[in-house]
Chain A
Amino acid sequence: MIRNLNIFLLFASVALLAGVYALKFSIEGTASERTALIAQIDDQEGQLSLLKADWAVLNQPGHIDPIVQRHQVELAIGPVQQQQFGSFAGLPMRPVAPDTAGMDALFAAIADGIDPIDAILQMEGIE
């Protein structure tokens, strides 16, 4: 009886030993994985901080303004002038009745294959 118990205990201890070693090695593996991840996160945070700084530079009015000024002539843009502001009070009132005759003429023209928009586009040189 005692002998059987001893044999069982012997096998059990060998099995536990193997288990503990396996656990130890797996934990070491996990730890090194963690260290690698920390290093990677650190590295990426560093890169992220540089990208954020880049983004902040690109967003500065002081960075955008010279670009705007370089393209002022080509794009025909400039600082907003007082005269360019409007208000709701400045809008004309809606016509009393829709211009039925004008709409009919327009639809008739489109039906005939003449699109007035084409003329505008050609004038602007878009097509």
Chain B
Amino acid sequence: MAVATEDFAPTIALEGARKQRGNLTQARIRWMILAVVLGFGLVGGRLVQLGMVETDQTIEGQARDLITATRPPILDRNGLEMAVDIRVPSLYAEPRRIIDVEEAVSALRSVLPDLDETWLRNRLSGDQGFVWVRRELTPAIQDAVMRLGIPGVDFITESKRFYPAMNEAAHVLGSTNVDNQGIAGIERHMDSESVALLQDLGLARGNALTPVELSVDMRVQHVMHEQLVDAMTRYQAIAAAGVMMDIHTGEVIALASVPDFNPNEPATALVKDSFNRITAGIFEPGSIFKTVTIAGALDSGSVAITDQFDARYGIRFGRYTIDDFHGKHRILTLPEVYKYSSNIGTIRIMQTLGKDNFRAFLGRMKFDERVDFELPEMRVPTVPKELSEVGAATASFGHGLSVSPLHMVTAYAAFANGGNYIAPTLYKRDIAEAEALYERVISPETSDSMRYLMRLNALEGSGSQMNKAAQGYRAGGKTGTAEKVVDGRYSSSKVTNFFASAFPLDNPRYAMVIMVDEPKAENPQSGTTAGWNAGAISGRVIQRVAPMLGVAPDFSEAIDQQIVPPVLR
């Protein structure tokens, strides 16, 4: 060994032993520093890498925030909840974490037996990070699934819309889909306004959202809905609808249309015929349109309330003769034309006004455009641009043009409130805000005359069925029996009946339109004209709701005398 070392040792040492050791140490230190730098570099690199990773926050393409997002509660005008959010558990799975798919499938099906086996197996196998299994379950099912202890299956709390009034305000509220987006009614309108934006920003969480206050009064809405449902059986009608409006503010107090749907089960909204007849239905209004003709004529000054009109003979237009339903065949005064609902008299009034002036008045009353209203379900009315002689004659008593009941209630509101057109709304609006929106359509004096005519018709004319029930509430209105077109001809057996009213007429506050589609006579003694059904419903509704709305009955005849125009006293 000693020999070998000696052989290989350098013969000449240029550096001393001390210096050699120093060099060695320095080299070691360098290696050490390199190792430390590498180590830190590794850690730093990993940190950067981790920082770059984006965790998947979406659930099947939707942000998690969007699913847990809530909608503001909807309250009626008295603060009663019409729509609230409830938190419900929804079951989801993470297929990539499921160990035994078969076991998971059989276990899940023991709690949710209606899940399809192959569908569930396909759903749970694969490499996805998130799949829904069943949404909007009950807490009891949540407990049962949790007790199964399947790995990779969990719950998320979702917000679900709940409508405590069930069917009653269905057409006002509309409904939402499973992702909590409004698909109809005021819910859809709210989305287009602001809620969707809040949800997108992820701000719509928790209970912090300000409630939305509607103008609807649930008590009145309930009475209206109940009466309409009752009408469906009482008169064997195919549909019925009603709307009530505050004539000074334009707030809609109640709006119902049957057949309707349960907004808690949005699928029921797709059932045929359950559309909103008040806004999305357009009908020939029939005789309730005579009020419009007379208001226009009186306001123009071409006709005075004391004028008389020849209703002795029907009016001929070529081959057709227009005659009266309750024909008196004598000379009628203007209040009599209204009271007896004389077609001939109304045509004469329209002719005195002039058909172009009449058409211009329809435009002023906004009968040829959509009503400015929140609900998305609206139809454009069909009113001819130019009226021929015959067209104007039929239009004067509400045939040959189609408008929605909402148009009619808005017009009646304007006639009763002193002559100001105010667009209806479903949101709360106070009188000051409304006054800023007023558009004068008729003079206050004409409005006074119209109130007198409506009250007169309730006391002596076709509104007496209504007045019998609503005794003391000074209600008045006009009936309208519009014959339906069946196979291109007007049918006398199939009719759409209307009753447009306002109350209390000494100091009017509310206007209402009730519609009954294809009613039959309630009993052999009654008829199928509007007074028997739409009128009677109006009377019963007024009787029930007037006390709720703070209208006290008053039987004194002096009140009815007061609204008679001075020239007729």
Contact = CB atoms under 8 A, between A and B. Distances in A.
B207 A45 contact: yes
A42 B157 contact: yes
B222 A65 contact: yes
A113 interface: no
Contacts of A85: 547, 552-553
Contact of B219 (A46, A61, A63, A87): A61
B84 interface: yes
A18 B465 CA distance: 92
Contacts of A65: 222, 226
A102 interface: no
Interface in A74-90: 79-80, 82, 85, 87
A108 interface: no
A82 B553 CA distance: 6
Interface residues of A, number: 21
Contacts of B80: 56, 59-60
A57 B87 contact: no
A60 B87 contact: no
Interface in A110-127: none
Given A42-B157, A56-B81, A85-B552, A61 B222 contact: yes
Given A42-B157, A53-B164, A80 B547 contact: yes
Contacts of A82: 471-473, 543, 553, 555
A52 interface: yes
B207 A57 contact: no
Contacts of B157: 42, 46
Contacts of A52: 81, 84
Contacts of A35: none
Contacts of A45: 87, 206-207
A44 to B, nearest CB: 10
Contacts of A50: 86-87
Interface in B64-95: 80-81, 84-88
A95 interface: no
A107 to B, nearest CB: 40
B544 interface: yes
Which among B86, B218, B226 has the highest number of chain A CB atoms within 10 Å? B86
Contacts of A98: none
A55 B543 CA distance: 28
B207 A60 contact: no
Interface string B525-569: 000000000000000000110010000110100000000000000
Contact of A87 (B81, B166, B544, B552): B552
Contacts of B219: 61
Contact of B84 (A56, A79, A80): A56
A87 B544 CA distance: 19
A30 interface: no
Interface string B204-229: 00110000000000110111011000
A49 B86 contact: yes
B84 A53 contact: yes
A49 B84 contact: yes
A49 B81 contact: no
A57 B547 contact: no
Contacts of A63: 164
A62 interface: yes
B187 interface: no
Given A49-B85, A59-B81, 17 more contacts: A45-B207, A49-B84, A49-B86, A50-B87, A53-B86, A55-B81, A56-B81, A59-B80, A60-B165, A60-B218, A61-B219, A61-B223, A62-B166, A62-B226, A63-B164, A79-B543, A82-B473
Interface of A: 42, 45-46, 49-50, 52-53, 55-57, 59-63, 65, 79-80, 82, 85, 87
Minimum-distance CB pairs A-B, first 10 = A46-B87, A56-B81, A61-B222, A56-B164, A82-B553, A82-B472, A57-B164, A49-B86, A62-B168, A53-B86
Interface of B: 80-81, 84-88, 157, 162, 164-166, 168, 206-207, 218-219, 221-223, 225-226, 471-473, 543-544, 547, 552-553, 555
